[in-house]
Amino acid sequence: MTHLTASYLLKRVAAPKQNMVPFLLGATLPDMLAYIPLLVSGFLPLKSMPLWVNAVPYFFLPFHGIVSFTLLSWLLALLFPAEIRKGIFLNLELGGLLHMFLDLLQVQHGREVSYLLFPLYHKSFSLGWIETESSLYTLPLFVATATIVLGIDIFRHRERSS
């Protein structure tokens, strides 16, 4: 949620009328791809399944890295008409880079962390300037600000439409 609101506010200031949805998707997709499979696997009876099934969620972790995410952004952009592919790709990629930059600032705990430079560098690292929980304290401020800005945008759009 922090990534989503921070990216919305940044995009709203930088270029609000151009590819907002791909930018927001890029800012949230790294966590969705890397951590949702791990979360879901925690609820499955994996001990009764073949060993390779246990490894499947870890296949998605590299998408939380720059090189893998760039490839994914390019592949997703290919799903769109040629005239808008460049904008889709750039906004997916820039949203993903913003996400990874915000993660880079945080202290990383546990094994399932950001492999930012995979496959060029296989170890996880972070700057460790912000505790992971610290971003949760700013979440109400980000959500409130984003909600107010979104409300103003909707109100202005309705006024122009009528």
Nearest by Cα to 58 from 100, 118, 112, 103:
112
pLDDT of residue 81: 95
Cis ω for the linkage preceding 119 (within 30 of 0): yes
Task: Report, as ranges of residue numbers, the positions in the chain whose pLDDT lies below 50.
Answer: 111-112
In the chain, domain spans = 2-161
Rounded distance, CA 59 to CA 133, Å?
26
pLDDT of residue 145: 82
SS3 content of the chain, % helix, strand, coil (to 5): 70, 0, 30
pLDDT of residue 12: 79
pLDDT of residue 140: 78
Taking the CA atoms of residue 132, residue 135, residue 140 and residue 143 in that order, the dihedral angle to the nearest 10 degrees is -120
Rounded distance, CA 48 to CA 50, Å?
7
pLDDT of residue 93: 94
Q: Quickly count helices (H) and strands (E) in the chain.
A: 6, 0
pLDDT of residue 78: 96
pLDDT of residue 116: 67
pTM: 0.72
4, 140 Cβ separation under 8 angstroms: no
pLDDT of residue 76: 95
